[in-house]
Amino acid sequence: MKIDLNLAVAPSPRERYALAWAAPTALLALVALVLLSLSALRTYREYRRVHGSVEELRAQEAKSRQRESELRRDLERPQLREVFRSVRFVNRLIDEKQSTVSELVERVAKLLPPQVRLAGLVLGESGGSPVVRIAVAGKSEEALEKFLANLENSDNFSDVAIISQGFAPEGSEGEPVRLACSARYLRMGRQ
């Protein structure tokens, strides 16, 4: 006699249910894995693009720093220091807006008697305040003395000092008497 023995266990409804849903779940998991992989790839590409932009900005910043240090070295040269000091002086005058060259010329012109003409005007700086050098030519010494008196009595100028004076050479046309003086320009007084 032959006995057949079946040791297999009959599948339960839960096992049949799990087996039925195993394929769709695996398919959904595969789709989710693909979507996550695509998202990770897109994120990585975006990261590389942003990283490249950041590196480019860092390189530009390094170039800018290098250019700035070169410019600072150039500004430290003695030749440019004098130009830089002059520019600061002019900028300070512009910022103060208390004085312009045309105002200075107008103020000096008001002090000139009819027999004297302005031959030259230079605005400089000495000890942190503006100093004006004025060259005039006149028909007589009295006219130049009147100009000096007007300059000394002006509210706009102080510390008047004669630099040079003399006569024009024989045979030259124009005013025979010449004078150069300097004065500290105060800018405060109004005429």
Q: Which domain holds residue 154?
A: 99-185
pLDDT for position 189: 44
Please indicate, yes or no, whether residues 111 and 64 belong to a single structural domain of this protein. no
Please indicate, yes or no, whether residues 50 and 121 belong to a single structural domain of this protein. no
Please indicate, yes or no, whether residues 139 and 175 belong to a single structural domain of this protein. yes
84 domain residue, yes or no: no
Cα separation, 146 vs 45, in Å, equals 86
25 domain residue, yes or no: yes
pLDDT for position 16: 79
What pTM did the predictor assign? Answer: 0.46
pLDDT for position 176: 82
Please indicate, yes or no, whether residues 104 and 163 belong to a single structural domain of this protein. yes
87 domain residue, yes or no: no
Beta carbons of 107 and 151 less than 8 angstroms apart: no
Residue ending a domain, choose from 27, 61, 76: 76
49 domain residue, yes or no: yes
pLDDT for position 99: 55
51 domain residue, yes or no: yes
- The domain spanning residue 114 has which CATH number? 3.30.70.60
pLDDT for position 27: 94
52-60 long-range contacts (CB < 8 A, ≥24 apart) are none
92 domain residue, yes or no: no
Beta carbons of 165 and 178 less than 8 angstroms apart: yes
- The token pair at 138 is 């006149």
pLDDT tens, per residue, the chain with 191 residues: 788 877 777 778 888 788 788 889 999 999 999 999 999 999 999 999 999 999 999 999 999 999 999 888 877 777 777 777 788 877 876 766 555 678 888 888 899 998 899 988 888 887 777 889 999 998 888 989 999 999 999 988 889 998 988 886 665 566 688 899 999 988 654 43
Domain count, the chain: 2
88 domain residue, yes or no: no
End-to-end CA, the chain: 145
pLDDT for position 2: 82
pLDDT for position 95: 67
81 domain residue, yes or no: no
pLDDT for position 52: 95
| Pairing outcome for strands 157-167 and 129-138 | unpaired
Please indicate, yes or no, whether residues 31 and 108 belong to a single structural domain of this protein. no
Nearest to 108 by CA among 40, 49, 52, 187: 187
- The token pair at 161 is 């000092």
* DSSP element (H, E) containing 162: strand 157-167
Beta carbons of 121 and 130 less than 8 angstroms apart: no
How many residues appear in the chain? 191
For the chain, helix (H) and strand (E) counts, in that order, are 4, 4
